[in-house]
Structure 1
Amino acid sequence: MDTPLSALPPQSAPWTHDVAQSYLKLVGWSTTGTLPESPKGVLIAAPHSSNWDLPFMLAVAGVFRLKLNWLGKHTLFEGAMGPMMRALGGIPVDRRARHGLVDQVVQRFNQSESMYLAVAPSGTRSGNTHWKSGFYHIARAANVPIICGFLDYGRKLGGVGPAIVPSGNIKADMDRIREFYADIVGFDGKKTSGVRLSEE
């Protein structure tokens, strides 16, 4: 029985699969995993230690024909660049707004029939020991699953792992996320083990 379109993740154009697959094959990478049958989700993009993560993440998403959204400072969307940034999946957020970042993104989720938001919770590539917790609070408030997306440079493998519905027990949920990422190696050769949120 076919899955109803309303239960599928947002899909990119059909040609993206072939282009992305060809690129990854050319550089010796492969993909694994299955997206959940959910029209909405927060996709963790981890580990994040290099500018190379972006093209590889986009290529992996292309193989899955997954149309991703990402957050950008609202000023990036002003002027002539605005339409292009939105076409590439960008969502403008204003950190000066009275209602915070989480509220802005949750509102966007509520207004969308389908949306997968890619978030790099490490925030920067400087090797932080704590992840930013916004991804968790967004998923919890929007009532959408957290999908563990990954790039493993050690195995030249990218894809998606488990989908976790936030329970509100941050430590228990993060223990599951930590377990999945423990042996995944970033571009810098380091494993992702030990990551945690400051609220834990």
Structure 2
Amino acid sequence: MDFGRAFGRAWLRLYGWRVNRHVPDVQKAVIIASPHTSNWDFPHTMAFGLAMNLRIHWMGKHTMFKWPFRSILRRLGGVPVDRRAPGGLVEQMTEQFRIRDRFWLVVPPKGTRAPRPYWKSGFYNIAQAAGVPIMLGYLDFGAKEVGLGLLVHPTGDVRRDMDQIRAFYAGKMGKRPELHGRVRLRAEDEGDADASAPLANPDSGTTP
């Protein structure tokens, strides 16, 4: 067992997490995780990835990927993106899915720990454009369980797809329940829930 895997397992044991060891059998996916209410979500999620020996990628502003940090960030799964580029994040990530044989990309749907009326739609737009499923990850502080669950294949019927996501996350508790937000996209309330065109606010999911 390598050091990273041993460290991840030790971390999860130390904090009392039970690990759902089911790993969906897909080569490519957009991963979301909810609920996100605490700074602790990130280290616990990283520990889970290490413990399960998962290669997970995340988006970061291209300006972060400069010497001497470039190689370290890439080794940690970072993918540089330029929000000013034509097509934005959706087109850049669609290209990454096209050129890679295996690519699991984490896209934060909420974008912040504070409660929000809507999730950002970047995760949905990227998955739909790339033709890959949305993998539902979770940190349930109520059950003290971490894992990967349902695969949702975007159909363009946003409300129906989001109903599946809402059902999965119902009852799962963040570290600070008072910061829970709605599991909902703005398009569901603005008449675009059945549209196949990209939804509003696609450029989400990068690190600050």
Q: TM-score, normalised by structure 2?
A: 0.85
Distance in 2, matches of 1:177 and 1:151, equals 15
Check if 1:189 corresponds to 2:177: yes
- For 2:105, which of 117, 122, 140 is the aligned residue? 117
Matching of residues 30-45 of structure 1 within 5 Å: 30-45=18-33
Matching of residues 6-155 of structure 1 within 5 Å: 15-155=3-143
Query: Which deviates more, 17-26 or 75-84?
Result: 17-26
Whether contact under 8 Å (2:117, 2:181) holds in the other structure is no
Amino acid at match of 1:66: L
Question: Residue 199 of structure 1: SS of its match in structure 2?
Answer: helix
Partner of residue 166, structure 2: 178
Distance in 1, matches of 2:6 and 2:53, equals 9
> How far does residue 189 in structure 1 lie from its aligned partner after superposition?
2.3
Whether contact under 8 Å (2:37, 2:176) holds in the other structure is yes
Partner of residue 163, structure 1: 151
> How far does residue 191 in structure 1 lie from its aligned partner after superposition?
7.8
Give the count of matched residue pairs: 188
Deviations, residues 157-185 of structure 1 (Å, cap 9, x unaligned): 11011111111111100000001111111
Query: Which deviates more, 163-172 or 16-25?
Result: 16-25
Distance in 2, matches of 1:193 and 1:129, equals 6
Distance in 2, matches of 1:18 and 1:80, equals 27
Question: Residue 171 of structure 2: SS of its match in structure 1?
Answer: coil
Whether contact under 8 Å (2:152, 2:161) holds in the other structure is yes
Deviations, residues 44-82 of structure 1 (Å, cap 9, x unaligned): 122112211111001112232211100111111123111
**Structure with the largest fraction of strand:** 1
Q: Where does the alignment leave 5 or more consecutive residues of structure 1 unmatched?
A: 1-12
Distance in 1, matches of 2:69 and 2:13, equals 32
> How far does residue 15 in structure 1 lie from its aligned partner after superposition?
4.7
Question: Residue 42 of structure 1: SS of its match in structure 2?
Answer: strand
> How far does residue 16 in structure 1 lie from its aligned partner after superposition?
3.5
Amino acid at match of 1:106: T
Q: TM-score, normalised by structure 1?
A: 0.88
> How far does residue 35 in structure 1 lie from its aligned partner after superposition?
1.8
Moved over 6 A (4+): none
Percent identity over the alignment?
Answer: 43
Whether contact under 8 Å (2:65, 2:73) holds in the other structure is yes
Distance change >3 Å, CA 168–CA 126, structure 1 → 2: same
